[in-house]
Structure 1
Amino acid sequence: MQEASVGYTQTKKHQIKEKIQLESGKKFGPIEVAYETYGTLNQEKNNAILVCHPLTGDAHAAGYHEGDQDPGWWDNMIGPGKAFDTEKYYVICSNVLGGCKGTTGPKSTNPETGEPYALDFPVITIKDMVKVQKKLIDHLGINKLFAVTGGSMGGMQALQWAVTYPEAQKFCIPIATTAKSSPQQIAFNEVGRRAIMSDPNWNQGNYYDQEPPKNGLSLARMIGHITYLSERSMRKKFGRRLQDKKDLSFDFTTDFEVESYLKYKGKSFVKRFDPNSYLYLTRAIDYFDLTDEGERTLTEALSKVKCKFLVVAITSDWLYPRYQSKEIVRALESQDIEVEYSEIRSSYGHDAFLLEPGQLKHLISSFLSKITVSDVLQRDIPLINKDTSIQKAAEKMINTGLTHLPVVEDSNKLVGLITAWDISKAVAENHESLEEIMTEKVITASENESIRSVVAKIRSNNISALPVVDEKDKVIGLVSSDILSQLADEKHPVPGTD
């Protein structure tokens, strides 16, 4: 399918009225969450992907806002035909707690004072951000996400999701990230914070009714941006070329192109980001440590996760180097948790997860195409005993919203299948028992069967759902044509299938 844009989008808001318990022990609320969605949530609500944004990202991940010239920050990855194909998936992105693009943060109004929170805003963590995201996902009526993904700080959130809510996603795709911030990473963040707090206009965070600390924030961004690039990319992009001059000035004005570039990045950043948010979010990154400051090993921290992983690193990333991703992989493998490790081969440095959509699309599409029935089946489905009355069967179908229900006998052994059409027919023709209306020769699927194999059964028999059974024909779940047909991809065939 040809890639396309999701078009014009709008940011939505969700109110969390009750206070939440923060990792610091404080209770905080109410909280307003800004989020955007792309694509359509299917009937089973099992095609949702949560995209977690990096440090300076926001909820606007794809498409265009009215009047904007530039699309969302991950537009090259989200949309029809792209890595997160909105013809298949329902993609969600929310601004994190502590942010400055719609979700409650330091510049939001404190309802108790009527003034911006400023430094009265509580110190937050990645776990707190994820807790707020979980509230949003619950509000959307999604019991289990298809995947959670993100790069850099977004990758930390994806990992935290897998640890805090092990049953809440099928796949986890952390990109260019770490399981705990290193001393060097903390050091760069601290220098950036000191740049902001040393600006005379910072005023202990109380600058919202006056000139903000633009110079400090600009400098913090310049420092941070250096860490997002690689030496090779800077040499290739700038070299030692002079900016709009032929000779050195022999003073402290701008001589080199790289100086001009960093000043441009800093100046443009202050137009869209709140300095206090930068302080809070970088502090949350510093505090991120799945081992709880050494209270447990990383293996122990990841011991209860239930999802499959694709861990992606970048060859030229020196901010979050590859060894940190490999530590995550080794910890998962030691627990026999399914994990794939891949690398983006790029000279761009840490920013490659934003700048190499072709490689990343291939890695993600290939990973998601290897799923089996066990990854997408609905396990907690009601079963109908063959002696159940038609009225009771109809009530159960209405209450669950399912249009197909397996009929079983003792020990949950499959003996038939009834559909909403069968129930309608039974009422119209005054049938009295399920055996008169149910389909007895039922086409089934097994847990380890490939997606493409099951899709072939569905298409060739013109059916919309299959019971999933074990080797003794006991029903263990149900798969629908909706999610299956979306996941079948001819360009990425599952190994072992035609």
Structure 2
Amino acid sequence: MTKASRRPESLVLFGADRPLRLESGRTLTDVPVAFERYGPPDATGADTIFVCHALTGDAHVARHRPDDAPGWWESMVGPGRPIDTGRYQVICANVLGGCAGTLGPAPFAGRTTWEPFPQVTVADMVAVHRELLRRLGVGRLHAVVGGSLGGMQALEWLLRHPGDAERYGLIATSAQLSTDNLAFNAIARAAIRSDPRFLGGGYRAGEGPDAGLGIARMIGHLTYMSGASLQTKFDRGLAPPPHGVSPEGDASWGPFSVERYLEHQADKLVARFDANSYLCLTNAMDLFDPFATPYEDVAEAGPDVHLFSFASDRLYGVEHSRHIRERLDKAGVGCAHFHEETSRGGHDAFLMDVPGYLDAVGRWLAAPSRRRAPEPGAPGVVSLPTTRTQQPRRSSHDVDA
């Protein structure tokens, strides 16, 4: 029997009197946001960690109870884990553009008309996160932590609003996708668009481009694993084709177990994710270039920044973390970099039980603050408002949150 997770909480943000202005210039109102909270309540934010999820993640980062469905970051979040829910309040929200309770481009039952969802950016996602915290009355955070797309959100948050948190953890992430990264995303999007059920994005709920989305997932999943892990796990092992397909004499189906594995990964994603959201979020990742806009306040805010990378990661390898560190160093922001060299898990190692890496995250989060908390009103410092009438600090990246 499949375990069911607790339904996420939801708030509708950005009323007509306080719209969300996207970087594209479009505005959105009445934006539903799905989120989950773990650990002891924390009215101040000083013991709160905001977790930003990756491309196909959601708000369910870990179990709430033993009989709950597993979360997507069980190795990191939970009682006694590096992000210890016995010590910290943990908040995770589904991103803008997602398909797990927060406003996004996913179709819905009974829809009679369809309009393209506006382009969103990582900065827009962070604007929604900050407004959620404002509505929850959470002040300056202990940390913002995320991996992959989640790490991009954490980096954007650091550069635009460094005083929102004492610490920022950027894990297996990038500040600018390489041409190779862009190419893989382009092929994945082409697979979705070429599915005859895509209909320019105007498909109905339950009638979407499942085949195209599945192929996109197969392409992406290859970049999440290392060549060594694929070789070790599958080598040239054989596996029969799907039920109903002749195991012999059909050249359209390969006989290898790695093919069955990728088909399985495709089926899993198609069952829980939306193709339009996949297009929306990969586009946001492609456009991400946070160092291209001003970030002068970061050094004066004095955040504690840690980078974590993996030698086996062929998606956002060590060169991506080094690029971030070099840019931060030039801005006067010192940061530590933990580079893990034992895991063969590839990009997905950030989700796995890799002891050295998990220990490093735990030590960093639990260590006493190395910096004096900046005074309210100092450059780069934001005390998140706790009432609906207060207006948060504005920047070039988010106007209304």
TM-score higher than 0.5: yes
The residue aligned with 1:475 is none
**4+ long deviations beyond 4 Å:** 64-68, 116-119, 247-250, 299-305, 377-381
Number of the residue aligned with 1:225: 221
Aligned partner of 1:197 in structure 2 is 193
**What aligned pairs does 1:259-274 form with structure 2 within 5 A after superposition?**
259-274=259-274
8 Å CA contact 1:8, 1:66 repeated in 2: no
Superposed, 1:211-250 pairs within 5 Å as: 211-244=207-240
Q: 1:103 to 1:210 in 2, by over 3 A?
A: closer
How far is the alpha carbon of 1:272 from its aligned partner? 0.2
Q: State the superposition RMSD in angstroms.
A: 2.8
Match of 2:155 among 155, 159, 164: 159
Residues 146-188 of structure 1, C-alpha deviations (whole Å, 9 max, x = no match): 1001100000000001111121011000000111122211111
1:329 deviation in Å?
1.3
Q: In structure 1, how many angstroms separate the alpha carbons of the residues matched to 2:370 and 2:304? A: 14
Give distance in 2, aligned partners of 1:369 and 1:211.
47
Whole-angstrom distance in 2 between the partners of 1:60 and 1:138 = 21
Shift of 1:109: 6.4
User: In the alignment, which residue of structure 1 is the partner of 2:303?
Assistant: 307
Does residue 168 of structure 2 align to residue 168 of structure 1? no
Which residue of 2 is the match for residue 291 of structure 1? 291
CA distance in 2, matches of 1:78, 1:165: 24
Question: In structure 1, what residue type is equivalent to 2:88?
Answer: Y
Q: Give the structure-2-normalised TM-score.
A: 0.84
Asked if 1:347 corresponds to 2:349, the answer is no
Partner of 1:19: 19
Determine the structure 1 residue equivalent to 2:333: 337
2:327 partner amino acid: A
Distance 1:117 1:152, change over 3 A: farther
Q: Is the 8 A contact 1:106 1:117 kept in 2?
A: no
Assess if the C-alpha contact under 8 Å between 1:107 and 1:117 holds in 2.
no
Identity of paired residues, percent? 38
Q: Is the 8 A contact 2:162 2:298 kept in 1?
A: no
Q: Which runs of 5+ in 1 are unaligned?
A: 1-6, 382-498
In structure 2, the partner of 1:358 is 355
Give 2:244's aligned residue: none
Match of 1:144?
A: 140
The alpha carbon displacement at 1:46 in A equals: 1.1
Question: What is the CA-CA distance between 1:357 and the residue it aligns to?
Answer: 4.5
Who wins on radius of gyration, i.e. which is larger?
1
Report the alpha carbon displacement of residue 64 of structure 1 after superposing the two structures with TM.
5.5
| Alignment match, 2:85 | 86
TM-score (norm 1): 0.68
Q: Distance in 2 between matches of 1:77 and 1:279?
A: 28
Provide the residue aligned with 1:99 in structure 2.
Answer: 98
- Which residue of 179, 186, 197 maps to 2:182? 186
Go from structure 1 to structure 2 and tell me whether the alpha carbon gap of 1:291 and 1:304 turns closer, same or farther (over 3 Å shift): farther
- Residue 78 of structure 2 aligns to a residue whose secondary structure is coil
Deviation at 1:54, TM superposition (A): 0.3
- Write the mapping of 1:53-132 to structure 2, written as runs, cut at 5 A: 53-63=53-63, 70-107=69-106, 115=111, 119-132=115-128
The alpha carbon displacement at 1:209 in A equals 4.8
Q: Which amino acid aligns with 2:47?
A: N
Question: Could you give the per-residue CA deviations for residues 346-381 of structure 1, whole angstroms, max 9, x where no partner exists?
Answer: 111000001135333201122234333745x58569
Number of residue pairs aligned between Structure 1 and Structure 2: 366
